[in-house]
Amino acid sequence: MAPDELKYFSKAAVQLAHHYQATVLLNENLMLAQNLQADGVHLTATQLLSLDTRPDIGWCGASCHNVQELQHAEKTGVDFVTLSPVLPTLSHPGAPALGWKQFAELIQDYPLPVYALGGLTPADLGTAQEQGAHGIAMMRGI
Protein backbone atom coordinates (compact mmCIF):
# COMPACT_ATOMS: atom_id res chain seq x y z
CA MET A 1 0.00 0.00 0.00
CA ALA A 2 1.35 3.44 -0.88
CA PRO A 3 2.19 5.71 2.10
CA ASP A 4 -0.73 8.08 1.47
CA GLU A 5 -3.15 5.18 1.12
CA LEU A 6 -1.80 3.60 4.31
CA LYS A 7 -2.23 6.84 6.23
CA TYR A 8 -5.80 7.32 4.96
CA PHE A 9 -6.77 3.70 5.63
CA SER A 10 -5.13 3.67 9.08
CA LYS A 11 -6.77 6.95 10.10
CA ALA A 12 -10.19 5.63 9.11
CA ALA A 13 -9.57 2.33 10.93
CA VAL A 14 -8.44 4.04 14.12
CA GLN A 15 -11.40 6.43 14.11
CA LEU A 16 -13.92 3.68 13.45
CA ALA A 17 -12.41 1.33 16.02
CA HIS A 18 -12.26 4.01 18.70
CA HIS A 19 -15.92 4.88 18.01
CA TYR A 20 -16.72 1.32 19.10
CA GLN A 21 -14.17 1.29 21.96
CA ALA A 22 -11.96 -1.17 20.08
CA THR A 23 -8.16 -1.15 20.29
CA VAL A 24 -5.94 -0.65 17.23
CA LEU A 25 -2.28 -1.57 16.89
CA LEU A 26 -0.59 -0.61 13.64
CA ASN A 27 1.94 -2.97 12.15
CA GLU A 28 5.54 -1.69 11.89
CA ASN A 29 4.84 2.05 11.59
CA LEU A 30 5.51 3.61 14.99
CA MET A 31 5.41 7.22 13.77
CA LEU A 32 2.09 6.72 12.03
CA ALA A 33 0.66 4.97 15.07
CA GLN A 34 1.72 7.87 17.29
CA ASN A 35 0.48 10.52 14.84
CA LEU A 36 -2.94 8.90 14.45
CA GLN A 37 -3.24 8.17 18.18
CA ALA A 38 -3.52 4.45 17.58
CA ASP A 39 -3.45 2.37 20.73
CA GLY A 40 -0.14 0.79 19.89
CA VAL A 41 2.27 -0.72 17.43
CA HIS A 42 3.53 -4.18 16.55
CA LEU A 43 7.24 -4.11 15.68
CA THR A 44 9.13 -6.35 13.31
CA ALA A 45 12.04 -8.33 14.75
CA THR A 46 14.47 -6.00 12.97
CA GLN A 47 12.81 -2.95 14.54
CA LEU A 48 12.83 -4.63 17.95
CA LEU A 49 16.54 -5.40 17.77
CA SER A 50 17.32 -1.78 16.88
CA LEU A 51 15.75 -0.52 20.14
CA ASP A 52 17.26 -0.17 23.60
CA THR A 53 14.01 0.86 25.25
CA ARG A 54 10.32 0.42 24.68
CA PRO A 55 8.74 3.03 22.39
CA ASP A 56 6.52 5.64 24.00
CA ILE A 57 3.11 4.32 22.96
CA GLY A 58 0.22 2.59 24.71
CA TRP A 59 0.68 -0.99 23.55
CA CYS A 60 3.87 -2.37 22.05
CA GLY A 61 4.20 -5.87 20.67
CA ALA A 62 7.02 -7.43 18.69
CA SER A 63 7.59 -10.29 16.28
CA CYS A 64 10.12 -12.87 17.45
CA HIS A 65 11.55 -15.94 15.78
CA ASN A 66 14.30 -17.16 18.12
CA VAL A 67 15.64 -17.00 21.67
CA GLN A 68 17.76 -13.89 21.04
CA GLU A 69 14.75 -11.89 19.86
CA LEU A 70 12.66 -13.15 22.78
CA GLN A 71 15.37 -12.06 25.23
CA HIS A 72 15.62 -8.63 23.60
CA ALA A 73 11.84 -8.20 23.73
CA GLU A 74 11.90 -8.92 27.46
CA LYS A 75 14.84 -6.54 28.02
CA THR A 76 13.19 -3.79 25.98
CA GLY A 77 9.95 -4.09 27.93
CA VAL A 78 7.40 -4.70 25.20
CA ASP A 79 3.94 -5.82 26.29
CA PHE A 80 3.68 -9.04 24.29
CA VAL A 81 5.32 -10.99 21.47
CA THR A 82 4.33 -13.19 18.59
CA LEU A 83 6.57 -16.20 18.01
CA SER A 84 6.68 -17.59 14.51
CA PRO A 85 6.45 -19.41 12.28
CA VAL A 86 5.10 -22.32 14.28
CA LEU A 87 3.89 -24.20 11.20
CA PRO A 88 4.67 -23.72 7.49
CA THR A 89 2.92 -20.61 6.21
CA LEU A 90 2.01 -19.17 2.83
CA SER A 91 3.10 -15.68 3.89
CA HIS A 92 6.72 -16.82 4.38
CA PRO A 93 7.27 -19.74 2.00
CA GLY A 94 10.42 -21.67 2.73
CA ALA A 95 10.85 -20.24 6.24
CA PRO A 96 11.73 -23.07 8.64
CA ALA A 97 8.85 -23.77 11.00
CA LEU A 98 9.52 -24.07 14.73
CA GLY A 99 6.98 -26.81 15.36
CA TRP A 100 5.07 -27.07 18.62
CA LYS A 101 7.89 -28.73 20.57
CA GLN A 102 10.43 -25.98 19.88
CA PHE A 103 7.76 -23.32 20.38
CA ALA A 104 7.02 -24.71 23.86
CA GLU A 105 10.72 -24.94 24.74
CA LEU A 106 11.37 -21.33 23.71
CA ILE A 107 8.57 -19.90 25.84
CA GLN A 108 8.91 -22.12 28.90
CA ASP A 109 9.07 -19.74 31.89
CA TYR A 110 9.01 -16.72 29.54
CA PRO A 111 7.59 -13.71 31.41
CA LEU A 112 5.71 -11.97 28.57
CA PRO A 113 2.48 -13.05 26.88
CA VAL A 114 3.31 -15.01 23.72
CA TYR A 115 0.98 -15.50 20.77
CA ALA A 116 1.68 -18.33 18.34
CA LEU A 117 1.77 -17.28 14.69
CA GLY A 118 2.38 -18.95 11.36
CA GLY A 119 0.25 -21.46 9.49
CA LEU A 120 -2.41 -21.55 12.20
CA THR A 121 -6.19 -21.73 12.12
CA PRO A 122 -8.72 -21.28 14.92
CA ALA A 123 -8.57 -25.05 15.46
CA ASP A 124 -4.96 -24.60 16.70
CA LEU A 125 -5.91 -22.43 19.68
CA GLY A 126 -6.18 -25.33 22.14
CA THR A 127 -2.85 -26.80 21.07
CA ALA A 128 -1.20 -23.38 21.32
CA GLN A 129 -2.51 -22.87 24.86
CA GLU A 130 -1.41 -26.38 25.87
CA GLN A 131 2.11 -25.44 24.69
CA GLY A 132 2.13 -22.27 26.82
CA ALA A 133 0.84 -19.64 24.40
CA HIS A 134 -1.57 -16.97 25.52
CA GLY A 135 -3.33 -17.31 22.20
CA ILE A 136 -2.83 -17.33 18.46
CA ALA A 137 -2.44 -14.68 15.81
CA MET A 138 -3.22 -15.27 12.17
CA MET A 139 -3.77 -13.63 8.83
CA ARG A 140 -6.10 -16.01 7.06
CA GLY A 141 -8.03 -17.75 9.79
CA ILE A 142 -9.28 -20.55 7.56
Q: Max CA-CA distance within the chain?
A: 42
Condensed to tens digits (0 to 9), the pLDDT of residues 21-71 reads 999 999 999 999 999 999 999 999 999 999 999 999 999 999 999 999 999
Task: Read off the pLDDT of residues 121-131 as tens digits, 9 standing for 90 and up.
Answer: 999 999 999 99
Contact 46, 66 (CB under 8 A): no
Residues 6+ apart with CB under 8 A from 1: 9
pLDDT value of residue 111: 98
Mean pLDDT score across all residues of the chain: 95
Spatial CB neighbours of 20, under 8 Å, sequence gap ≥ 6: none
Rg of the chain over all Cα atoms, to the nearest angstrom: 15
Could you tell me if 108 and 132 are in contact, meaning their C-beta atoms sit under 8 angstroms apart? yes
Query: What is the reported pLDDT for 140?
Result: 66
| Mean pLDDT score, 96-111 | 97
Residue count of the chain, please give it: 142
pLDDT of residue 142: 55
Domain ranges (residues) in the chain: 3-137
Residue 83: its H or E element: strand 80-83
User: What global pTM score does this model have?
Assistant: 0.92
Task: Domain 3-137: give its CATH superfamily.
Answer: Aldolase class I (3.20.20.70)
- Which is higher by pLDDT, 138 or 49? 49
* pLDDT reading at 86 higher than 60: yes
Distance CA 132, CA 5 (A): 38
